[in-house]
Amino acid sequence: MNSKPRILIVDDELAIRESLLEILEEEGYEGVSAESADTARPLFSTGLDLVLLDIKLGADNGIQLLREIKSLHPFLPVIMISGHGTVALTAEAFKLGAHEFMEKPLRLMQVRACIRNALEAVRLKNRVLEQERAKFPRPIYSSPLMKQLFGQAGKLASLREPVIIMGPSGSGKELVAHSLHYDGTRREGPFIATNAASMPVNLAEDELFGHEKGAFTGADRQRIGCLEKASGGTLFLDEIADLDLQIQAKILRVLETGTLLRLGGTQSVTVDVRIIAATHKNLTRMVEEGRFRNDLWYRLCAFVLTVPPLADRREDIPLIAQSFLEKTCAEIGCSKTLGDDAVTFLQTLPFAGNVRELKHIITRAAVFSDSSIIDRDAVAGAAPGVSAAAPPIESYSVLDYRTARDRFEVDYFTAVLSKAGGNITAAAAAIGMAQSNLSRKLKELGLR
């Protein structure tokens, strides 16, 4: 909100507009006015903090204009002015999101109190939203691939339709989900995140749908599931590919009907939730193999966002590394910078673990380096299995990108395996990679 709140008055009576403008000026607000819906519409996007709207605008319908305002600017508070409104009109206005009503003839104290209360409610709501948003890091990027990704995400943010986010582990899929929620019209609602891969099959249904008291042995009270907790906002369902097929069917029902049934329940519960799903697996292949429901896939795949691996967007590495360094230094109470040689070296690493691996390397380098400048050797020491004497990136410049990247991966995983004495379990633990993923990668590269 601006230091001087800007308030629009929409009323077909000149005397009321002039009276309200005078009150706004006395209270230190900036007032603008319009006598009809047509003259008001161009003002909606001029940075308003509040609208005072007459429920009857001559030939125009104030309720219809309220509907337009809430469609275009859902968080803009609107106070309705009523001289001859009915109970039905009042109920409809509140249902559409009107903040308050003022009855004609307007009283000075009432006008002042309503405006102050509305602006204070907005201020407090914005403060809560800022605190919630501050819990999640803002996306940091400069690469064309990420600019394209977040450009697409911005266009989808205010839709209710589900979105599926594809990409390798550690690439930042949840960060994209945060943006879809907090940059959209559902940002005032809850953002609930859960990971299907971490839910035992026998508990996944309870986690998502909840249960009624007495639903099973030990169910001594009602439990609300994640889908219901997220009503009015967003449920981020990570690793959706790991959900049991029966639970996938129930998720599909929620998407199609907007209702769910708690375990042990007999009455359907209506929920208004947007589902954002994510996975690093190939869902198309899983559908073909019968391991993922094709009807759920077709319901999800209308909007697919793909997060590229860090190795495909090396322009982002310096910015992300600097951000991680600043955060770590703030936590441990020090001041350190990345040397140019360290940044160049970081950009040559394969980053099989993507952004998550970069974070671990920078954190270890910041904690264990005794110098105020983190150099190439410090970074190499913080990256298990990597030698500071690795070939500089310039030596690969004569190769095409794919060949150069493959060569980096062969060199990297060969060094990792060598250091671990050929033990895949130890190698996977050293680089923070799942053993199954490492085995698959080694097979792809033809390494044993």
Is 279 within 8 Å of 166 (Cβ atoms)? Answer: yes
CATH number of the CATH domain containing 218: 3.40.50.300
341 in a structural domain:
yes
Asked whether residue 355 falls in the same domain as residue 431, the answer is: yes
58 in a structural domain:
yes
Asked whether residue 128 falls in the same domain as residue 32, the answer is: yes
- Percent above pLDDT 70 for the chain: 93
Cis ω for the linkage preceding 105 (within 30 of 0): yes
138 in a structural domain:
no
The pLDDT of residue 51 is above 90? yes
Q: Which of 260, 287, 308 is the last residue of a domain?
A: 308
420 in a structural domain:
yes
Mean pLDDT, residues 9-31: 92
Structure tokens at 42: 């161009």
pLDDT at 93: 84
Name which residue leads in pLDDT, 444 or 217.
Answer: 217
Q: Please state, rounded to an integer, the average pLDDT across all residues of the chain.
A: 87
pLDDT at 219: 86
pLDDT at 1: 44
The pLDDT of residue 39 is above 60? yes
CATH number of the CATH domain containing 77: 3.40.50.2300
Asked whether residue 164 falls in the same domain as residue 303, the answer is: yes
345 in a structural domain:
yes
Min mean pLDDT across 210-219, 234-243, 294-303 is at: 210-219
CA distances in angstroms from 111 to 100, 242, 436, listed in the order given: 11, 56, 66
Residue-wise pLDDT tens digits, 115-140: 999 999 888 877 877 777 777 778 89
Phi/psi region, residue 386 (left: phi>0; alpha: psi -120 to 50; beta: rest), is: beta
User: pLDDT confidence of 391, banded at 50, 70, 90?
Assistant: low
Asked whether residue 325 falls in the same domain as residue 364, the answer is: yes
Q: Which of 292, 308, 324 is the last residue of a domain?
A: 308
pLDDT at 14: 92
The pLDDT of residue 280 is above 70? yes
Asked whether residue 51 falls in the same domain as residue 160, the answer is: no
The pLDDT of residue 259 is above 90? yes
Name which residue leads in pLDDT, 441 or 207.
Answer: 207
CATH number of the CATH domain containing 388: 1.10.8.60
Q: Which of 133, 163, 185 is the last residue of a domain?
A: 133
Euclidean distance between CA atoms 316 and 321, whole angstroms: 9
Residue 184 structural domain: 144-308
User: pLDDT confidence of 86, banded at 50, 70, 90?
Assistant: low
The pLDDT of residue 213 is above 80? yes
Residue-wise pLDDT tens digits, 405-419: 776 787 788 778 777
Asked whether residue 166 falls in the same domain as residue 299, the answer is: yes
Q: Which residues pair with 263 in a beta bridge?
A: 211
Asked whether residue 167 falls in the same domain as residue 299, the answer is: yes
CA distances in angstroms from 429 to 385, 436, 437, listed in the order given: 11, 11, 12
User: pLDDT confidence of 388, banded at 50, 70, 90?
Assistant: low
Mention every residue, 6+ apart, whose C-beta is less than 8 A from residue 290: none
Asked whether residue 122 falls in the same domain as residue 171, the answer is: no
139 in a structural domain:
no
Asked whether residue 252 falls in the same domain as residue 366, the answer is: no
1 in a structural domain:
no
Residue-wise pLDDT tens digits, 335-377: 999 998 888 888 888 888 899 999 999 999 999 999 999 998 9
pLDDT at 392: 53
Residue-wise pLDDT tens digits, 73-84: 777 899 998 876
Q: Structural domain tally of the chain?
A: 3
Asked whether residue 246 falls in the same domain as residue 288, the answer is: yes
Asked whether residue 245 falls in the same domain as residue 344, the answer is: no
**Residue whose structure tokens are 């409104």:** 85
385 in a structural domain:
yes
Asked whether residue 149 falls in the same domain as residue 264, the answer is: yes
User: pLDDT confidence of 85, banded at 50, 70, 90?
Assistant: low
The pLDDT of residue 200 is above 90? no
